Amino acid sequence: AMEDVSAKFVSQKISRTRWRPLPPAALQPPDLFATGSWDNEDNRISIWSAGDLGNAGLNGEYHGEPHLLCDIQHNGDVMDMQFLDQERIVVASSTGTVTIFRHHQNNQTLSASHRWEKAHYHVDQDTSCGAAACTGVVCNNPEIVTVGEDGRINLFRADQKDAVRTIDNADSSTLHAVTFLRTTEILTVNSIGQLKIWDLRQQRNEPSQIFSLAGDRVPLHCVDRHPNQQHIVATGGQDGMLSIWDIRQGTMPVSLLNAHEAEMWEVHFHPSDPDHLFTCSEDGSLWHWDTSTNVSEKPSFLHQGGRSTAYLSHSTLNQSVVSAWLSNDPTKDRMEITNLIPNQTLSVNSLDVLGPCLVYGTDAEAIYVNRQLFA
C-alpha cells in the first residue's frame, strides 16, 4: 500500500536514482542510494541512507524517511549514473564529461576521483562550444561504456587515463542508452528506433546486428537486458510503448505493449526476479509489470492503481525454458500491470529496483522509496 512509500523533498529535479549494489552474499535489503539532478542552477550528486529500519512499527511497516549522507556539486545535468562498485559511481553529464565519484564511507564525503573531459563532443574536442551530452553509461567493473548525442561509443577502464577504444561514428543519430549483453558485447538504442549490437572484440567500427521498430522510427530512450536470459531485451521510447525483443530471432520486437501516454524514460527488469519489470514516464506514472504465472491468485498490492491485464503477442519458441516475456502458452500470457503512483502529475525520470526496494525520482523535486514492493 502507499503507506510503505516514504518521500523526501529535495528542492532539485531528480534525473537519476540508483541503489548501491549489495555485496554478493548480503542478505539485508539495500540501504544506500545515489541521486543526480538536472535543470537546476547547481546540480548535485547525492548519497542517501534509505532510512532507519529501527523505526519499523509493530507490524514491520517502515517509517524513517531517506536522509542525506553527503553530496557534491556536478557540472551540467546528470544524464545517467551507474555504480561501478560499492564505493564508486560513474556519472554522465550534459557537458559531455564522464566523472567517477568516490563515496568515502569513513567520513561520509564524495570526491571526484577521475574525469574524462569532453568524452562526447561535436566537431572536435578542443572547441569550447563543441560539447555533446553523454546520454548513457553502463559499467562492468573495471569497464565503462558511454554513449552520446554525438553518436559516439567510448570504452573506458576505471584505472586508465585514456579511452581504451572509441567508435567515432557509431551512429549518425543520437545514442540514448546502452547496456551490456555479455562482457564483450553491448547493445545501444538510438533516436530513430534502432537497436544495434556491438562486439567489442571486433576491431571494425560497425554493429554486428541491427534491429528496428517497423516503420515508425520512434526515438528509443531506454533499454534493459533480462538478467538471466541474455537474448531478451526490453526498450521504451518517445511513444511510451514497451517493446520486448528476442535478439536471436528476426529484427523486430517480439511484442509491443501499450504502456505510458508520454515518453518512457527508464525500463528495468527486477535483477533477481525478472518476471517483474518496471517502467517510468514523463506522464507521471510508474508501472509494475507482473508476468509471474500465478497472477490470478495474487491480491493486488495497490488497490487504487490503474490495474489492467494485457496479452503478449504469441511467438513460437521451441525451447525448454521459456521466459514469461516470450511465452507461447496462453495461460502464461496474462500480465498484471499496476501503476504504483496513481496521482503523480510531473515526470518520473528514473527508477531503480533491488530486492524488495524501489527508489524513484521526479521533476516534482522529490525522491521516493518503497521498501515493500512485494508485500
CA 333 to chain centre: 25
Position 130 scores a pLDDT of: 82
Euclidean distance between CA atoms 357 and 341, whole angstroms: 15
Euclidean distance between CA atoms 280 and 220, whole angstroms: 14
Position 263 scores a pLDDT of: 97
**Residue spans per domain, the chain:** 5-24+31-293+322-370
Q: Is the pLDDT of residue 128 over 70?
A: no
CA separation, residue 69 to residues 35, 46, 106, 109 (Å): 12, 8, 11, 8
- Per-residue model confidence as pLDDT tens digits over 205-260: 999 999 998 777 899 999 999 999 999 999 999 999 999 999 998 888 888 888 99
Position 3 scores a pLDDT of: 56
Share of the chain above pLDDT 70, in %: 84
Q: Is the pLDDT of residue 148 over 50?
A: yes
Higher-pLDDT residue of 363, 313: 363
Position 306 scores a pLDDT of: 36
Burial class (CB in 10 A: 0-12, 13-18, 19+), 152: buried
Q: What is the dotted CATH code of the domain comprising 5-24+31-293+322-370?
A: 2.130.10.10
Position 46 scores a pLDDT of: 98
Higher-pLDDT residue of 143, 65: 143
The pLDDT confidence band at residue 165, using thresholds 50, 70 and 90, is very high
- The mean per-residue pLDDT over the stretch 336-350 comes to 91
Question: Taking the model in full, what pTM does it have?
Answer: 0.88
Neighbouring CB atoms inside 10 A of 338's CB total: 19
Position 308 scores a pLDDT of: 36
The pLDDT confidence band at residue 302, using thresholds 50, 70 and 90, is very low
Euclidean distance between CA atoms 367 and 348, whole angstroms: 10
Q: Is the pLDDT of residue 300 over 80?
A: no
Q: Is the pLDDT of residue 47 over 80?
A: yes
The pLDDT confidence band at residue 66, using thresholds 50, 70 and 90, is very high
The pLDDT confidence band at residue 204, using thresholds 50, 70 and 90, is confident
Pairing of strands 185-190, 194-199: antiparallel
The pLDDT confidence band at residue 58, using thresholds 50, 70 and 90, is low
Average pLDDT, the chain: 86
Euclidean distance between CA atoms 64 and 60, whole angstroms: 12
